Amino acid sequence: MTRKVYIETVGCQMNVLDSELVIGSLRKEGYSLAETAFEAEVILFNTCSVRAHAEDKIYSALGRLREHMNEHPEKVLGILGCMAQKDQDKILKRAPHVDLVCGPGQLERVPELIEAAKASGRPQMALSLGRKEATRHDVEASFISYDPIRDASMRPTPFQAYLRIQIGCDKFCTYCVVPSTRGPEQSRSPEHILSEANQLVDQGCREITLLGQTVNSYRFDHGDGRKTCLSDLLIRLSGINGLDRIRFVTNYPLDMTNDLIDAVRDLPKMVKYFHVPAQSGCDEVLLRMKRQYTISQYDEMRQRIRDRAPEASVSSDFIVGFSGETEESFQKSVDIVNRSAFKNSYIFKYSPREGTRAFDKYVDDVPEEVKKRRNNDLLVAQNQQSLFLHRHWIGKEVEVLVEGLSLTTQREVKRLGFLPHADSPVQMTGRTMHDLIVVFDGMPRLAGSMAKVHITDTTAFTLFGQIATVENQTTLNEKQMAQARHAAARFNPSPTPKEGNISLPMA
């Protein structure tokens, strides 16, 4: 009997990548993917702690599995990721049927831990050191960048991939768990990154998204006086034949240098897009958040992007209802949305997190109803901006990397229970070079191709159009094509970094 593993992933792109890699390594041990937890021998949750909601979802999923696990003591139930690092043995206290707790800095041990849990019948833990538990060097060493050989079959689509260039975070925003769950900021060497990118392109990958919590703080010290920053890296990655598009997330406003903006503008393969969260439009709130910039510095950075790369899209994140946020300070977040022309914003209600500075120091004093209202008000303001920006594209022709079936088609596929033929006329979706979502009539065969689409209509979230031309050759072979069609059926066209309130629902 082949061994089966089931995995559920919440959280940001880092987690999506980690899950891909963990499953890749388990495949090498002879595992295949199960569709449901009940048919799997190993059940894994790759977790997120950024907001309470993300953790609650996992704890209730664990509750639902309690009886099943008690009936099947031979099975292994594992908690991976940020919640594992944050809650540690608290997880075992709340859910004693868990067999494995493994933080994001120890994922390479997952196959070995599964075997140990099976052999001993006792829970296994693999965690990195706390930020104050040892010297920086030792803490860094306990967060191992997990980047084994890539397995194309584990990705949502074979032609798009995430590539980690940095782990951890050193910014310590007062509301945020990430610096403790992901550890100290460390940049990977350009050689490792380039070799992984080449490997991905050999596997049929056309678009790579570089990942880092503050990706534009990327800086690799070669130890011989040479340093590589993000713009240097982009130039080198641009030289890879067969790679068509390069993106990177998430940016930190103070590290948005001119050389980076110019690289995005000038390098033809760069997607003209900066995700650079403001978090709030009010200086007092930013100070309590310890974001380390003022609104005038953010505005200056936004203006520099306008001046140097006028075409580039910019998007943001906001937290509403942070401790001490008054109506007046919230209004300043609405104001910054109204003047910044963000393509979209991800908006979150403040969720106090144990272990963060804000949790210890400030009271969560904005009532839930007020957070909700502010969240909606900010969404309304953002959607007006989004609609205005999207309208600019009506009548124009854009180049789209076709990602897969549109959400409407995906729903239809689910309802009917079978996949459309590669040549069936269905609605497809993709993204432009400015990171805008486009929906158009096409066929599954187009997944992974570049198409020119003439834009005829728009909402605040999605452009609609007709295909003008498709590049005459898809780079995918038959096997990859079949995989793309399967993937397309379960692929969310916009893998968003976070669940939460997104100002851009999909088509």
Residues that bind ligand F3S (CB under 6 A): 11-12, 14-15, 48-50, 81-82, 177-178, 181-182, 498
Asked if residue 358 lies in contact with residue 288, where contact means CB atoms within 8 angstroms, the answer is yes
Minimum CB separation from ligand F3S for residue 481, in Å? Answer: 32
Spatial CB neighbours of 286, under 8 Å, sequence gap ≥ 6? 279, 280, 293, 294, 295
Size of the site for ligand SAH (CB under 6 A): 17
Please list, residue by residue across 84-109, b when 16 or more beta carbons sit within 10 angstroms of its beta carbon and e when fewer do: bbbbbeebbeebebbbbbbbbbbbbb
**Does residue number 279 form part of the binding site for ligand SAH (CB under 6 A)?**
yes
Binder of residue 49, out of ligand SAH, ligand F3S, ligand SF4, none (CB less than 5 to 8 A by kind)? ligand F3S
Distance CA 63, CA 75 (A): 16
Give the strand pairing for 42-47 and 3-9: parallel
Whether omega for the bond prior to residue 469 falls within 30 degrees of 0, making it cis, is no
> Which residue, among 181, 185, 77, has the nearest Cα to 123 in the 3D structure?
77
Binder of residue 337, out of ligand SF4, ligand SAH, ligand F3S, none (CB less than 5 to 8 A by kind)? none
Q: Given the complex with ligand F3S, which of 13 and 203 has the nearer CB atom?
A: 13
**Does residue number 220 form part of the binding site for ligand SAH (CB under 6 A)?**
no
**Does residue number 288 form part of the binding site for ligand SAH (CB under 6 A)?**
no
Q: Given the complex with ligand SAH, which of 269 and 353 has the nearer CB atom?
A: 353
Minimum CB separation from ligand F3S for residue 182, in Å? Answer: 5
Helical axes 407-416 vs 478-490, angle rounded to 10°: 90
Stretch that binds ligand SF4, among 33-41, 169-177, 303-311, 335-343 (CB under 6 A): 169-177
**Does residue number 143 form part of the binding site for ligand SF4 (CB under 6 A)?**
no
Binder of residue 215, out of ligand SAH, ligand SF4, ligand F3S, none (CB less than 5 to 8 A by kind)? none
Stretch that binds ligand SAH, among 26-34, 117-125, 216-224, 346-354 (CB under 6 A): 346-354
Exposed/middle/buried for residue 220 (C-beta within 10 Å: 0-12, 13-18, 19+): buried
Backbone angles phi, psi at 278, to 5 degrees: -90, -35
**Does residue number 215 form part of the binding site for ligand SF4 (CB under 6 A)?**
no
Exposed/middle/buried for residue 477 (C-beta within 10 Å: 0-12, 13-18, 19+): exposed
Asked if residue 128 lies in contact with residue 168, where contact means CB atoms within 8 angstroms, the answer is no
Please list, residue by residue across 430-460, b when 16 or more beta carbons sit within 10 angstroms of its beta carbon and e when fewer do: bbbbbbbbbbbebbbbbbbbbbebebeebbb
**Does residue number 316 form part of the binding site for ligand SAH (CB under 6 A)?**
no
Minimum CB separation from ligand SAH for residue 170, in Å? Answer: 11
> Which DSSP state fits 239?
T
Stretch that binds ligand SAH, among 96-104, 129-137, 171-179, 229-237 (CB under 6 A): 171-179
For ligand SF4, the binding residue among 21, 116, 169, 215 (CB under 6 A) is 169
Minimum CB separation from ligand F3S for residue 81, in Å? Answer: 6
37 token code pair: 């937890």
**Does residue number 173 form part of the binding site for ligand SF4 (CB under 6 A)?**
yes
Asked if residue 95 lies in contact with residue 59, where contact means CB atoms within 8 angstroms, the answer is yes
Q: Given the complex with ligand SAH, which of 375 and 432 has the nearer CB atom?
A: 375
Minimum CB separation from ligand F3S for residue 258, in Å? Answer: 29
**Does residue number 176 form part of the binding site for ligand SF4 (CB under 6 A)?**
yes
> Which residue, among 413, 455, 460, has the nearest Cα to 438 in the 3D structure?
455
Near ligand SF4 in 243-262, by CB under 6 A: 252
CA-CA-CA-CA dihedral for 325, 328, 333, 337, to nearest 10: 160
Binder of residue 11, out of ligand SAH, ligand F3S, ligand SF4, none (CB less than 5 to 8 A by kind)? ligand F3S
**Does residue number 206 form part of the binding site for ligand SAH (CB under 6 A)?**
no
Binder of residue 172, out of ligand F3S, ligand SF4, ligand SAH, none (CB less than 5 to 8 A by kind)? ligand SF4
Q: Given the complex with ligand SAH, which of 173 and 467 has the nearer CB atom?
A: 173
Q: Given the complex with ligand SF4, which of 169 and 426 has the nearer CB atom?
A: 169
What 3-state class would DSSP assign to 309? coil
Q: How many CB atoms lie within 10 A of CB 303?
A: 11
Helix (H) or strand (E) holding 7: strand 3-9
127 token code pair: 């965690």
**Does residue number 10 form part of the binding site for ligand SAH (CB under 6 A)?**
no
Binder of residue 142, out of ligand SF4, ligand F3S, ligand SAH, none (CB less than 5 to 8 A by kind)? none
Provide the residue type at 332 as one letter.
Answer: K
**Does residue number 317 form part of the binding site for ligand SAH (CB under 6 A)?**
yes
Site string for ligand SF4, 272-311 (x = CB under 6 A): ----------------------------------------
Near ligand SAH in 173-192, by CB under 6 A: 175-176, 178
29 token code pair: 């041990």
Provide the residue type at 297 as one letter.
Answer: Q
For ligand SF4, the binding residues (CB under 6 A) are: 169, 171-173, 176, 178-179, 213-214, 252
For ligand SAH, the binding residues (CB under 6 A) are: 50-51, 175-176, 178, 213-214, 250, 277, 279, 317, 319, 348, 350-351, 353, 498
